Amino acid sequence: MPKDFGIGASSKRREDVRFLTGAGRYTDDINLPGQAYAAILRSPVAHARINALDTSAARAAPGVLLVLTGADVEAVGGLPCGWLIHSRDGSPMKEPKHPILAHGKVRHVGDPVALVVAETYAQARDAAEMIEMDLAELPAVIDMRKALKDGAGDVHEDAPGNLCYDWTFGTPQEETDAAFASAAHVTTLELINNRLVANPMEPRAAIGDYARHSGEHTLYTTSQNPHVIRLLMGAFVLGIPEHKLRVVAPDVGGGFGTKIYHYAEEALVTLAAKQINRPVKWTSERAEAFISDAQGRDHVTKIELALDAEGKFLALRTDTLANMGAYLSTFASSIPTYLHGTLMAGNYLTPKITVNVRAVFTNTVPVDAYRGAGRPEATYQLERVIDQAARELGLDPIELRRKNFIPADRFPYATPVAVEYDTGNYAATMDKLVEISDRAGFEARKTESAKRGKLRGFGVASYIEACGLAPSRLAGQLGARAGLFESAQVRVNAAGGVVVWTGTHSHGQGHETTFAQVVADMLGLPEDQIEIVHGDTSKGSMGMGTYGSRSLSVGGSAIVNATKKVIEKARKIAAHLMEASAEDVAFENGQFTVKGTDRSVAFGEVALAAYVPHNYPLEELEPGLEEQAFYDPSNFTYPAGAYACEVEVDPDTGKVEVLGFWAADDFGNVVNPMIVEGQVQGGVAQGIGQALLESCVYDETGQLLTGTYMDYAMPRATDIPMIGVDHSCQTPCTHNPLGVKGCGEAGAIGSPPALVNAVLDALNAGGHKVAHVDMPLSPARVWAAMRDAAA
Amino acid sequence: MYSLDFVRPASLAEAVTALQAEDALPLGGGQTLIPALRQRLAMPGRVVALAALPELVGLRVEGGEIRIRGATPHARVAAEAPLPALARLAGGIGDPAVRHRGTIGGSLANNDPAACWPAAVLGLGGVVRVRGLAGPREIAADAWFRGLFDTDLRAGEIVTEVRLPLPLAAAYVRFRQPASRFALAGVFVARFAGGRVRVAVTGASASGVYRWTEAEQLLASDFSPGALAPLCVSAEGMLADVQAPADYRAHLVKVIACRAVAEAASGRTACG
Ligand SMILES: Cc1cc2nc3c(=O)[nH]c(=O)nc-3n(C[C@H](O)[C@H](O)[C@H](O)COP(=O)(O)OP(=O)(O)OC[C@H]3O[C@@H](n4cnc5c(N)ncnc54)[C@H](O)[C@@H]3O)c2cc1C
């Protein structure tokens, strides 16, 4: 029986009432009295020295209140990077300053050059266009492979050769090389993980507000983590202490990672508001988002897999170039390293794994986490090379995976790449996948397609991710410059209702529903008695926000622990009210009872007593019923599973049609199955986008060729097939109180390799000997691959 | 966006007069012009709105022709065109919002190299009627389309009507560009009494919509996909962009033309 409330129930998303009736309140919906508007002049070229900026006409233009250029903000700190990576030789990564307005040089198309504030947005924009930029263009460094060669030119003088770091990880190289030397078979693939633009529906926006009487700043911003922005902007960029800086992230229309980071515009509107003593709003246009939101992925990888004669994996070796873009965005350095290298074991027993990553500066928009963040890149390489090995050896790709899965009885399992998986059962999710995708019926479906002249293919991919970011001590040892705990406060009101503060942020994930289910379940109260509050640094003390599928596993654990504290205190109050000792008081379904008696008192009565402490143990207990908890996980969580995709390829045009997608995930325990299903489906839609449609392309001068939706192909509803989602295989997480693992990114991680494997299966089974096509598998690319294979 | 004059004339005559101002542009459905204004790619001082003029909206059959007025939205054509190939073409443009605003006149005046309407008007051998201060003019399709975003339209003129001869059989098949969903290659074929065939190709060529005369000749004697087998389309002069190189477009032209011929020959009118 599915539950109808609490943990395990598919409760309807309460926030949807607000969103579907137009009552959502996004940053751009906020208008403050006296508000002025900002426009940003951005670099039209990828790389140039700024000889001069003439702002005189702009300053004199109608309505203009303020013009700032790089020279005006030279003293302001650069945008910080939150993770220090060390190269193999022990040297720290190159970390050139990331100024909030370009100074001396512009380094990518879209690099902010000046801020103009005026009475209206049109005036600000008109005036920005009047600024004369005298730019001396420099050769642009665009292609990573060329960027590392001599004479490529330097994006930053203080990062000569454009190398940010040269990182190695896992088994010592000689050991891995020795395993390769003894291998019966080696499969090699070179592939590109295509650069993506996140494209949340709501573009970024920020409003700076300043109260001269108190010296308090307020920043409204489209952020996934307002406390992190307060910390970074306050401490590193503008030097505003936390008690004088409030950051509000109201409703946010999708983030997908790109709204984690601290952006220049946030600091600029904060500065400008103080300078003109008026609120200042900036709202990104879509075209601006394409050249200023941090982008995702962009790896070039060579991966080699060594197998013995039985098809057992012996070793894995990778060499990756990771594009950082022109500056280090907030978490850029950690994505290709600790969120990528640590996952290269996948679901397999491979004993030797060496991962090499060189991070490269280029004259392109900065690159940072995008849904999955490093883990899709790891999974894609691994699951592609396994399929290729199966093809080369004439093995069934599912059987080859099964042969190498970490068996269910080997957990906890320490991989050669530093992490320890707590639980998992990869064979079980694969079995489930084979069942729900009707793999057995595929041959018949293929025959039917062939009758219509189409090539049908079936592909699978397993995946694992490290979620629940993050155990702070471990993260700190690996170079993180912040803690990665989460906090929660649970406040029980005197006369009804419970208000729960969480430091995570909901921007599509449905936390207001899921978290309420958890607390309702624990307190035995109806869900509508629980209110979830987030997104405002003035309402809760600390929070690290939402990314890395951490919100339920880390934020939810903090909520559970705070709720437990509330229950323990309430138990003592109840014991007092019932004249029993606390050890004898049980709590179930919202009632405290003295064990073995019929004496009971309801949770609500206890709450009232806590605030009207007439009959109350004041000597031992403070009045009130409000608790806080900070939770720092002891390990990552390891969601895993298997994805399948079925496609049809038109051999005349190369067009790929996705006929079906199936996901068998192990997320541990599931609080709201409907929301989990939605998260997986959304992730798969984005994965289909990456595999089939999306690609962010610069020409050799650094101009973005895909700067509008006419050229950047976003998936549409008609591109997405029915997606079968199953999460019945559950090996609960052993180290968090809910036993949950996180589900937000899985879909985007598991789906691209499954889709590409399906297309390659269709082509090869159809007689086209194609080993590889780079994403996105556009019709033109698939057609060219077939043509080249025939030649 | 920026400030400009917005004129809503009460009649076609008023519209023509309003357009004589320097820097004035007609506004059809705004599906192309408004995004261009927003991005400041076009900066007219005045726009003259045509969409609400009854004289410019509607379609009818007269004298063996379909006559579509200049500001008729695509959705109206999709619902009412007596020629299935046209209804299907119009019904496949953009999304419902685009189809209910975007107009045939706007599409023909714009002459986007990947747009659908130019293929139909050229493929049917239609006539474009325009009106300026000097009165009406009629321009044959072969003279109207002059290359990428270029037509015979003169400043101050409005496309008032398009006249399209009714064929015996016709079909429009397009292969969509994955991002814009415009044509990566779109082919309109029409067969007329006496075996005359016209084939127009959109989306593929760097000089915009064009007639594929070799195909027309072969199809005139054998109206079947097989008739195109001997032809090989050269990649020279084809568009190349992030979505597809020139050789792919050249390849597609033939594949899509074969499909269009098959469809026209079978009389199938299914949408897709
Ligand atoms: C999301 C989207 C998808 C689309 N998909 C497709 C597609 O699949 N296939 C396709 O063919 N098109 C597509 N279009 C374009 C659409 O068909 C437009 O409607 C068309 O290009 C322009 O028509 P309009 O009436 O909107 O013209 P407007 O945008 O109003 O004007 C365009 C130009 O034509 C001029 N103009 C307008 N009307 C007249 C007139 N009567 N006489 C003289 N000049 C005039 C204007 O001054 C302007 O220069 C799409 C557009 C969008 C926004």
Residue pLDDT, tens place only, A61-92: 999 999 999 999 999 999 999 999 999 999 99
Q: What is the per-residue pLDDT for A766?
A: 96
Over 80: is that where the pLDDT of A131 sits?
Answer: yes
Residue of B nearest to A719 (CA): B178
Over 70: is that where the pLDDT of A363 sits?
Answer: yes
SS3 B116: coil
**Peptide bond just before A776 cis, omega within 30 deg:** yes
Interface of chain B toward chain A, CB-CB under 8 angstroms: 1-3, 38-39, 175, 178-180, 182, 184, 241-245, 247-248, 251-252, 255
Would you say residue B245 lies in a domain? yes
The single residue listed with the structure tokens 């500066």 is A361
Would you say residue B145 lies in a domain? yes
- The CA distance from A477 to A473, in Å, is 6
Average pLDDT over every residue of A779-789: 97
Q: Give the residue from A320, A415, A426 showing the smallest Cα distance to A374.
A: A320
Strand pairing report for A245-248 and A216-221: parallel
Contact B242 A710 (CB under 8 A): no
- The Cβ of residue A157 has, within 10 Å, a number of other Cβ atoms equal to 9
Q: What is the per-residue pLDDT for A162?
A: 98
Over 80: is that where the pLDDT of A425 sits?
Answer: yes
pLDDT digits (tens, 9 = 90+) for B204-215: 999 999 999 999
Would you say residue B272 lies in a domain? no
Determine whether the shortest distance from the Cβ of B81 to ligand 1 is under 6 A. Answer: no
Residue B179: CATH number of its domain:
3.30.390.50
- The CA distance from A233 to A211, in Å, is 18
Determine whether the shortest distance from the Cβ of B109 to ligand 1 is under 6 A. Answer: yes
pLDDT digits (tens, 9 = 90+) for A164-177: 999 999 999 999 99
Beta strands in B34-168 (DSSP E): 46-49, 59-62, 65-69, 127-132, 135-140, 145-147, 150-151, 158-165
Residue A2 — very low, low, confident or very high, per pLDDT cuts 50/70/90? Answer: low
Given a contact cutoff of 8 angstroms between Cβ atoms, the answer to whether A118 and A65 are in contact is yes
Given a contact cutoff of 8 angstroms between Cβ atoms, the answer to whether A505 and A252 are in contact is yes
Percentage of chain A lying above the pLDDT 70 cut = 100
Q: Roughly how many angstroms between the first and final C-alpha of chain B, as a whole number?
A: 36
Given a contact cutoff of 8 angstroms between Cβ atoms, the answer to whether A352 and A316 are in contact is yes
Would you say residue B138 lies in a domain? yes
User: A357 - beta bridge partners?
Assistant: A167, A320
- The CA distance from A218 to A210, in Å, is 6
**Closest residue to B242, CB basis, from A126, A706, A783:** A706
- The CA distance from A640 to A637, in Å, is 10
Given a contact cutoff of 8 angstroms between Cβ atoms, the answer to whether B197 and B220 are in contact is yes
Over 80: is that where the pLDDT of A368 sits?
Answer: yes
Mean confidence (pLDDT) of chain A: 97
B chain contacts of residue A788, beta-carbon cutoff 8 Å: none
Strand pairing report for A132-137 and A48-54: antiparallel
- The CA distance from A127 to A543, in Å, is 39
CATH: 3.40.720.10, 3.90.1170.50, 3.10.580.10, 1.10.540.10. Which one for A27-138+201-254+259-290?
Answer: 3.90.1170.50
Same domain, B125 and B221: no
Closest atom, ligand 1, to C-alpha of B115: 11
Q: What is the signed CA dihedral for A259, A261, A266, A268, rounded to 10 degrees? A: -140
Would you say residue B63 lies in a domain? yes
Q: Identify residue A510 by its one-letter amino acid code.
A: G
Residue A615 — very low, low, confident or very high, per pLDDT cuts 50/70/90? Answer: very high
Report CA-CA distances (Å) from A495 to A172, A492, A588, B143: 63, 9, 20, 81
Average pLDDT over every residue of A148-158: 96
Select from B248, B253, B255 the residue whose CB has the most chain A CBs within 10 Å, as the one to mutate to test that interface: B248
Q: Give the residue from B21, B14, B17, B13 showing the smallest Cα distance to B5.
A: B21
Q: Does the beta carbon of A181 lie under 8 angstroms from any beta carbon of chain B?
A: no
Dihedral sign for Cα A692, A356, A383, A750, please. Answer: negative
Over 90: is that where the pLDDT of A730 sits?
Answer: yes
- The CA distance from A671 to A557, in Å, is 13
SS3 A666: strand
Same domain, B134 and B220: no
- The CA distance from A175 to A195, in Å, is 33
Given a contact cutoff of 8 angstroms between Cβ atoms, the answer to whether A549 and A742 are in contact is yes
CB-based contacts of B3: which residues, under 8 Å, 6+ apart?
Answer: A122
Average pLDDT over every residue of A736-741: 98
Q: What is the signed CA dihedral for A656, A389, A784, B242, rounded to 10 degrees? A: 70
Is 0.95 topped by the overall pTM? yes
* Closest C-alpha residue for ligand 1 atom 28: B30
Residue B271 — very low, low, confident or very high, per pLDDT cuts 50/70/90? Answer: very low
pLDDT digits (tens, 9 = 90+) for A462-521: 999 999 999 999 999 999 999 999 999 999 999 989 999 999 999 999 999 999 999 999
Report CA-CA distances (Å) from A90 to A61, A82, A85, A165: 53, 18, 9, 10
Q: What is the per-residue pLDDT for B270?
A: 38
Q: Last residue of a domain, which of B126, B142, B165?
A: B165
- The CA distance from A64 to A118, in Å, is 4
Average pLDDT over every residue of B64-81: 97
Residue B31: CATH number of its domain:
3.30.43.10
Over 50: is that where the pLDDT of A95 sits?
Answer: yes
Query: Inter-axis angle of helices A557-577 and A603-611, to 10 degrees?
Result: 80
Same domain, B141 and B212: no
Beta strands in A261-344 (DSSP E): 280-283, 295-296, 299-307, 313-325
Query: Inter-axis angle of helices A375-393 and A746-765, to 10 degrees?
Result: 20
Would you say residue B27 lies in a domain? yes
Delimiting residues of CATH 3.30.365.10 domain(s) in chain A: 299-469+635-790, 485-631
pLDDT digits (tens, 9 = 90+) for A528-540: 999 999 999 999 9
B chain contacts of residue A693, beta-carbon cutoff 8 Å: 178-179
- The CA distance from A442 to A284, in Å, is 47
Q: What is the per-residue pLDDT for B150?
A: 97
- For the domain made up of A485-631, the CATH class stated in words is alpha beta
Residue B123: CATH number of its domain:
3.30.465.10
What ipTM, to 2 d.p.?
0.95
Contact A713 B243 (CB under 8 A): yes
Delimiting residues of CATH 3.90.1170.50 domain(s) in chain A: 27-138+201-254+259-290
SS3 B216: helix
Contact A653 B255 (CB under 8 A): yes
Q: What is the per-residue pLDDT for B269?
A: 45
Q: Give the residue from B164, B170, B167, B166 showing the smallest Cα distance to B265.
A: B170
Would you say residue B160 lies in a domain? yes
- The Cβ of residue A216 has, within 10 Å, a number of other Cβ atoms equal to 15
- Fold classification of A299-469+635-790 (topology level): Aldehyde Oxidoreductase; domain 4 (3.30.365)
Q: What is the per-residue pLDDT for A3?
A: 74
Q: Give the residue from A111, A778, A163 showing the smallest Cα distance to B176.
A: A778
What is the token pair recorded at A411? 């957990």
Same domain, B136 and B186: no
Same domain, B161 and B65: yes
Residue A470 is classified by DSSP as: -
State phi, psi for A368 to the nearest 5 degrees.
-150, -160
Would you say residue B271 lies in a domain? no
Average pLDDT over every residue of A694-723: 97
Q: What is the per-residue pLDDT for B268?
A: 55
What is the token pair recorded at B83? 């020629």
Given a contact cutoff of 8 angstroms between Cβ atoms, the answer to whether A681 and A717 are in contact is no
Select from A120, A649, A652 the residue whose CB has the most chain B CBs within 10 Å, as the one to mutate to test that interface: A652
Number of residues that this document lists for chain B:
272
Percentage of chain A lying above the pLDDT 90 cut = 99
The 3-class secondary structure across A356-417, one letter per residue, is EEEEEECCCCCEECCCCCCHHHHHHHHHHHHHHHHHHHCCCHHHHHHHHECCHHHCCEECCC
Q: Last residue of a domain, which of B165, B186, B207?
A: B165
Q: Please, is A661 exposed, middle or buried when counting C-beta atoms within 10 Å of its C-beta (0-12, 13-18, 19+)?
A: buried
pLDDT digits (tens, 9 = 90+) for B98-125: 999 999 999 999 999 999 999 999 999 9
Q: How many domains does chain B have?
A: 3
**Closest residue to B175, CB basis, from A653, A705, A712:** A653
Same domain, B9 and B84: no
pLDDT digits (tens, 9 = 90+) for A311-343: 999 999 999 999 999 999 999 999 999 999 999
Domain that holds residue B242: 169-266
Residue B272 — very low, low, confident or very high, per pLDDT cuts 50/70/90? Answer: very low
Over 60: is that where the pLDDT of A642 sits?
Answer: yes
| Biggest CA pair distance of chain B | 57
Q: What is the signed CA dihedral for A379, A380, A382, A383, rounded to 10 degrees? A: 100
Q: Give the residue from A52, A182, A174 showing the smallest Cα distance to A104.
A: A52
The single residue listed with the structure tokens 């879209």 is A110
Average pLDDT over every residue of B229-253: 97
Q: What is the per-residue pLDDT for B260?
A: 98
Contact B179 A713 (CB under 8 A): yes
Q: What is the per-residue pLDDT for A5?
A: 86
Closest atom, ligand 1, to C-alpha of B70: 41
Same domain, B253 and B188: yes
Q: Does the beta carbon of A29 lie under 8 angstroms from any beta carbon of chain B?
A: no
